[in-house]
Structure 1
Amino acid sequence: MRFAISIPQFYADGEFDPAAFRAYFARAEALGCYESAWAQEMTLSASPQLSPLEAMTYAAACTSTLRLGCVVFVTTLHSPVHLAKSLATLDQLSGGRLEVGVGTGGPQRPFAAFGVDRSRYLARFTEGLALTKALWTRDSVTFDGEFWQLKDARMEPKPAQKPYPRLWFGASGDGALRRAVRLGDGFFGAGSSSTAAFAAQVSVVREALAAAGRPAAEFPIAKRIYIGIDSDAARARQRVNAALAGIYGRRVPAIEEAAVAGTVADCVAAARAVAAAGAELILFTPLYEVPEHAGQIAAEIIPQLG
């Protein structure tokens, strides 16, 4: 089992404390049990949230060993040329510590706000991914797509990792999971997905890997766990539900049920169930008192999951 912790992103105007942010990562590295730290992307949100790419870049400057990722960039809403350049730059700046999560965002995204045709979002996603890979791996790119066209275009420097950083796919439906196996390098289950749903998704991924002749050992599987720990389980649940409502703009019972809240023993049991469902990497995402949770998870939960 491998473990990760979230990158703090939720700050109202004027709340961000650079010294506290640096201290958080100094401790996360010193604890020694976290392999990586991950942001998430929600450009338009009811909750104040820093952009993932900038938060990851700041985190890269505060760290030397932690790998840094975002799960996921909704790449359908990005220019693949700009995003490819930004990610290659960050991989260089971090010394090859970048992890990249990608996803379509699903059909309910506010595509009109980004100038994207809802009816073609899947085609835009796959074409954008193909263009990104080309820019990262070819000396010169000529590309004649439906959405983007380039002629003899060059992008330097390439990512520090060759051929490019691992591409984790966020997905839920069977078609998206099979697309992850076809086009990606790993599957990352959402924090909003229940453990039972995640187990079913893992089954689809493993079946697709077998059908494609891809070794399962070369295609890692991970899951985000939204978590809140308290000696009073009811209070933990109340605080977790309130935080989720802030993130999603309303209460969503299915997401609340997927989140883990309770005593240390409750959280250990829930994390064990996620591991048993197929997670090889667990990303703990505390929903309140984030620095305190990072330390408590390292001291009291992770040692019971080894």
Structure 2
Amino acid sequence: MTPLKFGLTLPNRGVLFGVETMADLLDMGQEADESGLFRSLWVGDSILAKRRPESVSLLSALAARTKKVRLAVGCMASFPVRHPVLLAAQWATLDQIAGPGRALLAACIGGEGGGGDWQMENDAFGVPQGERIGRMVEGIKALKALWTQERATFEGKYYSFKDIISEPRPVTKPRPAIWIAANPRPSRNADMATNVKRATERITRHADGWMTTWLTPADFRDRWELLRSSLREVGRDADGFDNTLYYNVNINEDREAAAAESKKFLDAYYSFDISRPRLDIWVAYGPPEEVIGKVREFADAGAKEITFRITSFEQRRQYQRLVKEILPAFERVAVA
């Protein structure tokens, strides 16, 4: 049994609509690091579809302001449109600044089925929506080659290079961790079960950990057990495999006020109208005891780490409530 760990997701997209400034993000990141309550800091990522301060640059700034926490991008939705040769150099530089073991890259497909601003991003980078999965998998393989081979050679469908010398090298050995963030949904070409199976296979074969979001505790438990079984089948250490749940939080004795503010925040953050059923799954909102209860359900379902994003326009006030009223309730909570 290991203690439940926590992360803090900084709302970097919020810089674009006045929730936080860049200075606010860096200050909160430093405060979270100094508190000793968080294992990790996370930032979101998208280049054109969900515009925000660029993730690797922001993590580098956070690396200079922090000493202990993991510095993670979750998920890197732009991963399929970033060339691995350039990303290898960028991430190795971050790894050098942060120090061994701190930089964590959680890759994902992005795209959300194409259309809208996702189509704008796909068109700008010349990447059809249907190539995103293949490019993500190839990109992971290419990064591993660039970071571990003295002269890297890789030949794939989308990326190919020969005798590449990629420097600086990461200080994390044998290489920085690469996770896959996956939260499969039914698609035009496959049902839910098929997409979950495919995602599980990708994580099993290519990832060092799993990040997910927007699941009920029951769904989390089912998918975690499926992944653990898949890992064991190929001889990987299921017990040592890590996971993180990306969750949202708004603490308020007035439950409906917490829900209303969370909806307003997320509608602005993503430029869509989030439904109440989706809100109920994605946000722990309400009085402290209700929030604690919702978090505990995920701990019981097997979540090893939960990273919280605050869905409030009063980030500092909510942060203080999170660290004083929620996290202390889990000091002795262990997960399988």
Are 2:192 and 1:176 aligned?
no
Q: Mind listing any 5+ residue stretches in structure 1 that lack a counterpart?
A: none
Question: Following TM superposition, by how much is the alpha carbon of 1:117 offset from its aligned partner in structure 2, in angstroms?
Answer: 2.4
Say if 1:124 and 1:34 are closer, same or farther in 2 by CA, change over 3 A: same
Are 2:262 and 1:240 aligned?
yes
Q: Is the 8 A contact 2:6 2:305 kept in 1?
A: yes
Aligned residue type for 1:222? T
The separation in 1 between residues aligned to 2:20 and 2:165, in whole angstroms, is 37
Equivalent of 1:64 in 67, 79, 92: 67
Are 2:209 and 1:186 aligned?
yes
The separation in 2 between residues aligned to 1:276 and 1:16, in whole angstroms, is 33
The separation in 1 between residues aligned to 2:154 and 2:126, in whole angstroms, is 21
Aligned residue type for 1:108? G
Q: Secondary structure at the match of 1:216?
A: coil
Are 2:304 and 1:293 aligned?
no
Task: State which drifts further: 209-218 or 246-255.
Answer: 246-255
Q: Is the 8 A contact 1:3 1:35 kept in 2?
A: yes
- Residue 159 (structure 2) aligns with: 148
Say if 1:15 and 1:300 are closer, same or farther in 2 by CA, change over 3 A: closer
The separation in 2 between residues aligned to 1:286 and 1:265, in whole angstroms, is 17
Q: Secondary structure at the match of 1:182?
A: helix
Task: State which drifts further: 131-140 or 73-82.
Answer: 73-82
Q: Is the 8 A contact 2:107 2:136 kept in 1?
A: no
Question: Following TM superposition, by how much is the alpha carbon of 1:15 offset from its aligned partner in structure 2, in angstroms?
Answer: 7.7
The separation in 1 between residues aligned to 2:217 and 2:111, in whole angstroms, is 20
- Residue 166 (structure 1) aligns with: 177
The separation in 1 between residues aligned to 2:25 and 2:67, in whole angstroms, is 15
Aligned residue type for 2:250? G
- Residue 90 (structure 1) aligns with: 94
Task: State which drifts further: 109-118 or 229-238.
Answer: 109-118
Q: TM-score, normalised by structure 1?
A: 0.92
Q: TM-score, normalised by structure 2?
A: 0.84
Q: Secondary structure at the match of 1:256?
A: helix
Task: State which drifts further: 156-165 or 120-129.
Answer: 120-129
Q: Is the 8 A contact 1:7 1:56 kept in 2?
A: no
Q: Is the 8 A contact 1:45 1:249 kept in 2?
A: no
- Residue 273 (structure 1) aligns with: 297
Q: Secondary structure at the match of 1:169?
A: strand
- Residue 190 (structure 2) aligns with: none
Q: Mind listing any 5+ residue stretches in structure 2 that lack a counterpart?
A: 184-195, 332-336
Residues 183-232 of structure 1: per-residue CA shift (max 9 Å, x gap): 10111112x33333322221221111121221222211110111111121
Over the matched positions of the two proteins, sequence identity in percent amounts to 27
The separation in 2 between residues aligned to 1:174 and 1:277, in whole angstroms, is 19
The separation in 1 between residues aligned to 2:259 and 2:17, in whole angstroms, is 27
- Residue 230 (structure 2) aligns with: 208
Q: Is the 8 A contact 1:7 1:55 kept in 2?
A: no
